[in-house]
Structure 1
Amino acid sequence: MKSSALPDTPAHLWQHFSEIAKIPRPSGKEQAVREYIVELAKSRNLDYVIDAAGNLIVYVPASPGYENAQTVAIQNHLDMVAVKTEDKEHNFDTDPIELQVIGRWLTADRTTLGADNGIGVAAALAVLTDTTTVHPRLELVFTVEEETGLYGAQGLDASKLSATRMINLDTEDWGEIFVGCAGGYGYEAVRDFRSEPVDPTLKPYLIKLKGLAGGHSGVQIHEQLGNANKLLAEFLTENSDLIWALAEFKGGVAHNVIARVASVVVYIDPAQEGKWRFRMEQATQRWRTFLPDADNQLAWQFKSVDDASSSVLSASDRDLLLSLVSVLPHGAQTYSFAQPADLVNLSCNLAVVNLQAGELKVQTSLRFFNEHETIGLKNKIESVFKLFGMDVDIVLDYPSWNPDFNSPLVGRTAIISQKITGKPAKLRAIHAGLECGILTSKKPDMDVVSFGPTILGAHSPTERLEIATVEPFWKMLQALLAELAVV
């Protein structure tokens, strides 16, 4: 059953999340949601600072009687991934997220939900406005542009922070406490191809591969979700015996998203249209023998178009581009020895392939725990780009948060978690780029822990928040702050 009504408790948290969902906040455009928080701070006569990178820190006095406790930082990011299904009319720069409750899940109408990291932001604001929450002095840290490369955290002025303990609320598995995260490294490579006139006997067609699940390129990389860039390049390579020329290739949306849609504009012999359709069906049947169930909506769009390019790549350059996409690595590369096999140590995401007007741009990113382990993968990627004549820029470079299973803050959090859940806490590292790595590199004396309610499908239109995990998540945050207020 579908409903737009949010739960009643915890009231302050859900109220703030509802308001945040109304405010457009794609990466790089967080001004409005930041102003919402600033107005809350002003209404309570709280000091705040906005640093040169656009990050916001709100300073909250301790609850009466707890002024002598050490200051604690609560950290979240303001931005969200902006992804929607093709049939959804939505402008992420202007339109609110349309919330809906389906069964036990809160989701959005065919767009990303923004629970990553909006539910953490809402919890931090609930601490600010819910007077029943006991806490020490707080520094509420709201960073920007996390989803595009953790740029806000990288530019954070750490001199504005006095806290030596920090709670990050940007992880997505309730009942698990996170003590480490992956670092990241990313490339953007470009190259110009010489175009040539179109054979007038060929006609333009759009071929689009869609319906894949996509998802988070860190926490879901081990799920072997289909990458639309890789699959479409594979399909086109296998059909080089047909008569066709390539004008455009568009796939993927961002470095931290597994490409769920890719398309090409090709000029083909109309007499071979039937062969193309038959081979698409063959490819679909083959891929479904190994793709996960999440990709079961895999489908093709194949139609003639009028507004196509007047030039195409030569056959040799076409094959060169497809070879590049084919040989660039994608997926989990190594796994942790210390944790179950769903913890990846090293991975790569072939995120974006974009060919327009003869200019090719490719984005690919790495995630890692041990930077030394990246050397071989970096050499491979850089060598491939060099062999294919690409000019390369490094567009991502941020450190990992090395796991500390013996952290005093983690130990206290684990005890509270067991009291609330009735089960021993699971201490884990996560193969995603939390800002904790950057912040601990700026403040090495910072003791950090991360936890959150359950979110599935982050960075995709299937993003959903498990409602039943939100209230215990809030209670755990309250209990931890109350304990830190007296120690």
Structure 2
Amino acid sequence: MKPENYPAEPAHVWEHFYQFTQTPRPSKKEQAVRQYVLDQAEQGGHSWKMDAEGNVVVSVAASPGREDRPTVIIQNHLDMVTVKTSDKAHDFDTDPLTLQVEEGWLSADRTTLGADNGLGAAAALAVMTDPSVEHPPLELLFTVDEETGLGGALNLDASLLSGTVMLNLDTEDWNELYIGCAGGGGWQFARSFSNDAVANGEGWALTLRGLAGGHSGVQIHEQLGNAIKLAAEYLREVPGLRLAMIDIGVAHNVIPREGNISFVCPPGQEALLQERLQTCVARWNSYLPAVDHGIEATLAPAAIDSALDEVDTLQLLDLVSAWPHGAQSYSLAQPADLVDLSINLAILRLGDGELFLESSYRFFNEEQSVPLQQAVLALARAFDLEVTPDVGYPGWQPDFESPLLVQGIALHEKLFDVTPEVKAIHAGLECGILKGKKPDVDILSFGPTIRGAHSPSERLDIATVTPFWQYLKALLADI
């Protein structure tokens, strides 16, 4: 149900986005939202093609008099990150989002909003359904499975595309034009430990909540708290500790914000455990950013039948302590908040003695990532971890001589009397992959302002949607 104050204009954009929020679309489960796109195309008499991966290209004929213009690809992904707070009952496979408008921002009630990249996809559909938009021949490309490793773009059948100009609508800062993005890769790690019966000792359940979490690319420089690293820091000094269960993290591209751990320690330690917990929270609040100051760490008694022994527990905590996380280097050419190289310690699970860990890294220059990769794989060997590499993806190298960029800057200045910032982004846009598949394509990326992507605090700045739409329409008319 729409909130009473849900935005009304631009009507086509907001209506399509509302339908996206009411249609479940987790990664690899985009069937329903893809059908919505196809229904919209067929209602307008537009042809479409779908490749074996499930990516869709809708062909839209040029407005009268613009048939001889170059074909423009408008590219977005259909899936969304599915993260919620622990107190929110929500099934992303079946439930619509509950929207709310507060102080000029659109968000969802304790879940991700999916404005990344649903607002861009809605704008692409609006171009198709709004008869007032003048445009050249269009190919609306909707990819799948972007958020779990850019699988849709990696497996795209590029023969479906003929355009030589591409507009990607998947960046999150209005008044900025993007001409480059990071590449990336990652790994999954596993190891089996002996899980021994607990003959004596007290069981405890540790819960961490209230960290902000966020996007492991565009927010990695914000030094947000990582629930995995903080939990290990607390547990590292508990005497006689034996770990039983760990469940922290949701996806490779999300900074982990909350989790649960159960452990056993010698009887009579409650006062020490509680005191140490208060000390750690005070320490964390002394250096974590303000958005993380809502951190809550609680202990409760727990019945535990089996756990790792003390030696294996210490080894696991040493592993987490040694694991790199965060920005590793910054760009020498761009502003100080542009990270060149980073790594995210994303997921840690332990159950019945089985360990699973996932970590991902991002780069602009892949050669720069080699020492980091070597360091991680050295840790894996030292701690006897089985390694499964994730599929990597290339970066999009900035082209400051791009004719589309020159045109885009001039148009932005004309419309808004503001010179847009030209940037690269430390996130894995699909542009790098698509540029590799179609080297002749000239690409520009832009979008409205979104904050907190990949976290339950994701929100869309409503005031930036109208100028974003005006700019998209004017650029299509100008090409």
**Among 265, 270, 275, which residue is 1:273 paired with?**
270
Task: State the one-letter code of the partner of 1:190.
Answer: A
Query: What is the distance in 2 between the residues matched to 1:231 and 1:75?
Result: 38
Map 1:30-109 to 2 at 5 A. Answer: 30-109=30-109
Map of 2:19 onto structure 1:
19
Map of 1:391 onto structure 2:
386
Q: Alignment partner of 1:231: what SS? A: helix
- Do the aligned partners of 1:215 and 1:457 also contact (CA within 8 Å) in 2? yes
Task: State the one-letter code of the partner of 2:75.
Answer: Q
Query: What is the distance in 1 between the residues matched to 2:46 and 2:134?
Result: 17
Q: With structure 2 as the length reference, what TM-score do the two structures score? A: 0.98
Query: What is the distance in 2 between the residues matched to 1:87 and 1:430?
Result: 33
Map of 2:436 onto structure 1:
441
Q: Alignment partner of 1:208: what SS? A: strand
Q: Alignment partner of 2:457: what SS? A: coil
Shift in Å at residue 272 of structure 1? 1.3
Shift in Å at residue 338 of structure 1? 1.1
Query: What is the distance in 2 between the residues matched to 1:209 and 1:37?
Result: 40
Shift in Å at residue 422 of structure 1? 1.6
- 1:318 is the counterpart of 2:313: yes
Query: What is the distance in 1 between the residues matched to 2:125 and 2:438?
Result: 24
Deviation string, structure 1 residues 289-342 (Cα, Å, up to 9, x no partner): 100001011111211234x4x221111110111111111100000101111110
Task: State the one-letter code of the partner of 1:357.
Answer: D
Q: Alignment partner of 1:156: what SS? A: coil
Shift in Å at residue 425 of structure 1? 1.3
Q: Alignment partner of 2:268: what SS? A: helix
Map of 2:283 onto structure 1:
286
In structure 2, list runs of 5 or more residues that go unmatched. Answer: none
- Do the aligned partners of 1:175 and 1:421 also contact (CA within 8 Å) in 2? no
Q: Alignment partner of 1:238: what SS? A: coil
Query: What is the distance in 1 between the residues matched to 2:136 and 2:32?
Result: 28
Task: State the one-letter code of the partner of 2:460.
Answer: L
| Runs of at least 4 residues off by over 6 Å | none
Query: What is the distance in 1 between the residues matched to 2:244 and 2:132?
Result: 61
Map of 2:477 onto structure 1:
482
Query: What is the distance in 2 between the residues matched to 1:188 and 1:302?
Result: 29
Q: Alignment partner of 2:312: what SS? A: helix
- Do the aligned partners of 1:208 and 1:262 also contact (CA within 8 Å) in 2? yes
Map 1:65-214 to 2 at 5 A. Answer: 65-199=65-199, 201-214=200-213
Task: State the one-letter code of the partner of 2:137.
Answer: R
Query: What is the distance in 1 between the residues matched to 2:95 and 2:302?
Result: 30
Q: Alignment partner of 1:141: what SS? A: strand
Query: What is the distance in 2 between the residues matched to 1:142 and 1:221?
Result: 27
- Do the aligned partners of 2:247 and 2:348 also contact (CA within 8 Å) in 1? yes
Map of 1:406 onto structure 2:
401
In structure 1, list runs of 5 or more residues that go unmatched. Answer: none
Task: State the one-letter code of the partner of 2:394.
Answer: P
Q: Alignment partner of 1:88: what SS? A: coil
Q: How much is the aligned-residue C-alpha RMSD, in angstroms?
A: 1.1
Query: What is the distance in 1 between the residues matched to 2:292 and 2:328?
Result: 21
Q: Alignment identity in percent?
A: 53
Query: What is the distance in 1 between the residues matched to 2:408 and 2:97?
Result: 33
Query: What is the distance in 2 between the residues matched to 1:407 and 1:238?
Result: 55
Task: State the one-letter code of the partner of 1:217.
Answer: S
Aligned residue pair count:
478
Query: What is the distance in 2 between the residues matched to 1:429 and 1:475?
Result: 23
Query: What is the distance in 2 between the residues matched to 1:482 and 1:181?
Result: 26
Deviation string, structure 1 residues 133-171 (Cα, Å, up to 9, x no partner): 000110000001100000000010001100011000000
Deviation string, structure 1 residues 55-102 (Cα, Å, up to 9, x no partner): 111011001111111100000000000000111111100100111100
- Do the aligned partners of 2:241 and 2:313 also contact (CA within 8 Å) in 1? no
Query: What is the distance in 2 between the residues matched to 1:270 and 1:451?
Result: 58
Task: State the one-letter code of the partner of 2:54.
Answer: G
Q: With structure 1 as the length reference, what TM-score do the two structures score? A: 0.97
Map of 2:364 onto structure 1:
369
Query: What is the distance in 2 between the residues matched to 1:454 and 1:266?
Result: 42
Query: What is the distance in 2 between the residues matched to 1:116 and 1:419?
Result: 27
Shift in Å at residue 357 of structure 1? 1.0
**Among 379, 382, 385, which residue is 2:377 paired with?**
382
Shift in Å at residue 237 of structure 1? 0.6
- Do the aligned partners of 1:420 and 1:472 also contact (CA within 8 Å) in 2? no
Deviation string, structure 1 residues 420-440 (Cα, Å, up to 9, x no partner): 332111100000000000000
- 1:249 is the counterpart of 2:258: no
Query: What is the distance in 2 between the residues matched to 1:410 and 1:98?
Result: 37
Map of 2:295 onto structure 1:
298
Shift in Å at residue 3 of structure 1? 5.1
Change (3 A) 1:337 1:48: same
